[in-house]
Amino acid sequence: MPAAVHAAGFEQVLLQTWEQLHAADADTRAVGLLQAVWPQPEAETWSAASLGTRDAALFRLQSALFGPQLHTLTQCPACGETLESQFDCAQFTGEGAPTPVPTALALREQDWEIEFRLPSSNDVVALRDAAADPAVAVSALLRRCVLRLRQGEREASADELPTDLVVQLEARMAASDPLADLRLSLSCPACATAWDAAFDIGEYLWESLDDWAQDLLSEVHLLARAYGWREHDILSLTAVRRRFYLDLVQP
């Protein structure tokens, strides 16, 4: 475990966030974790950030808390061989502190002029119920993400967009926010089959945090039982001292 987690007070912040988000859905967890670690003045900022911006920040958080290496286990779709792969978070993140910036983009095609923004966690949560029917979900997403639409001099509504433009707009959104649907290129050492596998950094980070929190609470349990100390006092110990006492309890 890298030193970042053990910084004074930060451990408690993380543990509290883990507890608060325990029963939440994946998107609420992702946004809640980022707001806890990199608080923004506006509560809505992370939930309104594009999915790729949000996920780039989650890669940074994973790297800062648990180290840069990601380990994945996948089954080859052709021969069933289990493939163990390693990736580095730095492959997926930029430099500097993560900042969620909602950006307006434009697409001009034929006589159409479309101003739009990229899909965010807010959109995913709002459209979850519509997702059963892909056509309904796409038009609901466009109604949310198209900010302004004109055909020639006329203001138009997102429902009027011709199908070929809807397809172009979806492609533009995907190209402008590549991390939103991250796929890892894998290749099987046994049969040489190559394929792309989806990778969800939100899920990966949550699992890392869940393992960490459970280990930490197990340590609290052992020390509380051995010494009769209170949870708060055990969590206030530095990691070095806690390790020392644990070694005495469990040589």
Residues that bind Zn ion (CB under 5 A): 76, 78-79, 81, 188, 190-191, 193
Residue closer to Zn ion, measured from CB, 12 or 75: 75
| Minimal distance, residue 75 CB to Zn ion, in Å | 9
- Give CA 166 to chain center in angstroms: 26
| Nearest alpha carbon to residue 51 among 68, 65, 69, 34 | 34
Smallest separation (angstroms) from Zn ion to the CB of 80: 7
Q: Tokens in use for 220?
A: 């609290």
User: Which C-beta is closer to Zn ion: that of 79 or that of 226?
Assistant: 79
Q: Identify which of residues 152 and 189 has a Cβ nearer to Zn ion in the complex.
A: 189
CB of 200 to Zn ion, least distance (A): 23
* 210, 18 Cβ separation under 8 angstroms: yes
- Give yes or no for a contact between 219 and 238, defined as CB atoms under 8 angstroms apart: no
Spatial separation of the C-alpha atoms in residues 191 and 208, rounded to whole Å: 31
- Supply the minimum distance, in Å, between the C-beta of residue 188 and Zn ion: 3
Strands 154-155 and 183-187: unpaired
Between 90 and 191, CB nearer to Zn ion: 191
